[in-house]
């Protein structure tokens, strides 16, 4: 064999080996990307969690919120603490330095845990190495210094603890394309327990069925609570609230999943007495609802319509239950409204005081659905 032939053969082998190496690398990277994309973040959430916020596009959500007339009022709603610090800071840093959050990090979950202070939150990202690097870079800019996190082991897993100041720390856990962040290391440890022991919301049969029906939406809230305390035999169950915004109104829509049969809930709701007082309407009678809607419409024609009247006029007369209330008039547990509101709304009623609430329950295709409309008063 001539020298030229040997050289050609050697070159061919080198090219083939290079192609094989590139192909293998591309395949492995694609495989890891797919695994990261397919990670179910709900399998990390401890099953004792009672509130979960989900976003399929947090950047779009933040952009939309900035254009609302009641943006300042919503700042009171924003879950301050971890969510405000991480999402606000990370999104701003990504816009300024990395052309925005990548598609994976735009999809996230936030779980809220007892006793529900600003420190009792956990954020979950779909994020590989790139996402974690972005997070660390954001922290370095925030701290204005370089630092090394303290690494701690828990059940064979590594938790990295980043100091923010003398009193606050961020605990971070990464595995299989997911990144988990919390102020509380004990909550991150519960996340690891949920993953390793299979005791998570993602492993809960009822919650999993609820998720399968969900369509992509940029902001959804899941709450484990009683629908209405006025219902006999009702116990806490999961309900979903999809957020919709426009300039002066925001809506929450979705299905309720009561322990009681849906038809039984409607039958009980229809027994609720009609109430009409200053700033309050409660009606489970279609004729009464129609009467008050027409009364509000007449006020509109005579130019004497108040915003409360407008909210009544916009009700649907097909609903099985209707409630309209100026939330500024809500005075706590003794209020006539309390039996009709979930406890999480009652506990945060002061946050809703700048709005008039319109609430309707309907039975649609055999499913109990709800529509919450918050109309800004100012």
Q: How many domains does the chain have?
A: 3
Given this model, what pLDDT does residue 16 score? 37
Query: Can you tell me whether residue 216 is helix, strand or coil?
Result: coil
Q: Does 219 reside within a domain? A: no
Q: What is the arithmetic mean of pLDDT over 235-263?
A: 87
Q: State the chain's maximal CA–CA distance in angstroms.
A: 105
Which residue has better confidence, 78 or 231?
231
- Taking Cα atoms as reference points, which of 255, 317, 329, 248 lies closest to residue 285? 317
30 and 83 part of one domain: no
71 and 170 part of one domain: yes
285 and 369 part of one domain: yes
140 and 83 part of one domain: yes
Residue 207 is encoded by which pair of tokens? 């919650």
pLDDT at 314 over 90: yes
Query: Can you tell me whether residue 121 is helix, strand or coil?
Result: strand
Q: Which residues contact 240 (CB under 8 A, 6 or more apart)?
A: 210, 214, 220, 221, 222, 254, 255, 257
Of 206, 230, 265, which one is at a domain's C-terminal end? 206
Q: Does 226 reside within a domain? A: no
The overall average pLDDT reported for the chain is 80
Task: Quote the CA–CA distance of 295 and 301 in Å, as a whole number.
Answer: 10
Given this model, what pLDDT does residue 33 score? 45
Q: Does 327 reside within a domain? A: yes
Q: Does 245 reside within a domain? A: no
Q: Does 290 reside within a domain? A: yes
- Taking Cα atoms as reference points, which of 271, 174, 278 lies closest to residue 230? 271
Residue 183 is encoded by which pair of tokens? 């102020």
Domain hosting residue 147, numbered range: 42-206
Of 206, 238, 265, which one is at a domain's C-terminal end? 206
pLDDT at 349 over 90: no
Residue 82 is encoded by which pair of tokens? 């971890």
For residue 107, what pLDDT band results from cuts at 50, 70 and 90?
confident
Task: Quote the CA–CA distance of 23 and 26 in Å, as a whole number.
Answer: 5
pLDDT in tens, 271-291: 888 888 888 999 988 888 999
196 and 76 part of one domain: yes
**DSSP structural state of residue 231:** S
Q: Does 329 reside within a domain? A: yes
Residue 220 is encoded by which pair of tokens? 């959804």
34 and 46 part of one domain: no
Q: Using an 8 Å Cβ cutoff, are 102 and 130 in contact?
A: yes
pLDDT in tens, 159-213: 999 888 777 888 999 988 899 999 999 999 999 999 999 999 999 888 887 787 7
69 and 111 part of one domain: yes
pLDDT at 42 over 60: yes
335 and 202 part of one domain: no
49 and 178 part of one domain: yes
Task: Quote the CA–CA distance of 332 and 334 in Å, as a whole number.
Answer: 6
Task: Quote the CA–CA distance of 232 and 289 in Å, as a whole number.
Answer: 24
100 and 178 part of one domain: yes
118 and 13 part of one domain: no
For residue 78, what pLDDT band results from cuts at 50, 70 and 90?
low
Q: Does 224 reside within a domain? A: no
User: Distance of CA 309 to CAs 279, 301, 303, 377, Å?
Assistant: 10, 11, 11, 12
Element containing residue 355 per DSSP (H, E):
strand 355-364
Q: Does 199 reside within a domain? A: yes
- Taking Cα atoms as reference points, which of 229, 255, 257, 191 lies closest to residue 333? 229
pTM equals 0.83
117 and 18 part of one domain: no
Q: Using an 8 Å Cβ cutoff, are 219 and 61 in contact?
A: yes
């Amino acid at each position: 064999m001539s020298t030229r032939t040997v050289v050609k053969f050697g070159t061919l082998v080198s090219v083939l080996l290079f192609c094989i190496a590139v192909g293998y690398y591309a395949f492995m990277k694609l495989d890891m990307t797919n695994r990261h994309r397919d990670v179910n973040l709900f399998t990390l959430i401890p099953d004792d969690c009672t509130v979960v916020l989900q976003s399929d596009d947090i950047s779009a959500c933040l952009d939309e919120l900035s254009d609302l007339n009641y943006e300042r009022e919503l700042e009171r709603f924003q879950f301050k603490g971890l969510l405000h610090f991480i999402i606000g800071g990370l999104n701003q840093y990504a816009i300024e330095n990395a052309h925005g959050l990548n598609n994976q990090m735009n999809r996230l979950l936030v779980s809220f845990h007892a006793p529900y202070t600003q420190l009792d939150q956990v954020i979950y990202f779909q994020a590989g190495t790139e996402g974690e690097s972005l997070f660390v870079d954001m922290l370095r800019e925030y701290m204005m210094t370089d630092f090394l996190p303290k690494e701690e082991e828990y059940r064979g897993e590594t938790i990295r603890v980043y100091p923010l100041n003398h009193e606050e720390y961020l605990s971070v856990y990464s595995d299989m394309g997911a990144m988990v962040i919390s102020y509380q290391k004990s909550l991150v440890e519960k996340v690891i327990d949920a993953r390793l022991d299979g005791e998570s919301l993602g492993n809960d049969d009822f919650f999993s069925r609820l998720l399968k029906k969900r369509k992509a939406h940029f902001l959804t809230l899941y709450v484990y609570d009683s629908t209405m305390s006025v219902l006999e035999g009702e116990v806490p169950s999961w309900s979903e609230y999809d957020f919709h915004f426009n300039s002066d109104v925001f809506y929450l829509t979705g299905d309720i999943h009561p322990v009681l049969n849906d038809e039984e809930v409607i039958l009980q709701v229809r027994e609720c007495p009609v109430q009409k007082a200053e700033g309050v309407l409660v009606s489970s009678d279609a004729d009464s609802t129609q009467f008050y809607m027409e009364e509000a419409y007449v006020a509109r024609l005579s130019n004497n319509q108040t915003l409360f009247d407008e909210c009544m006029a916009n009700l649907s007369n097909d609903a099985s239950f209707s409630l309209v209330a100026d939330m500024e008039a809500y005075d706590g547990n003794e209020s006539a409204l309390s039996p009709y509101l979930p406890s999480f709304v009652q506990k945060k009623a002061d946050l809703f005081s700048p709005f008039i609430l319109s609430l309707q329950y309907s039975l649609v295709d055999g499913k109990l659905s709800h529509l919450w409309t918050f109309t800004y008063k100012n």
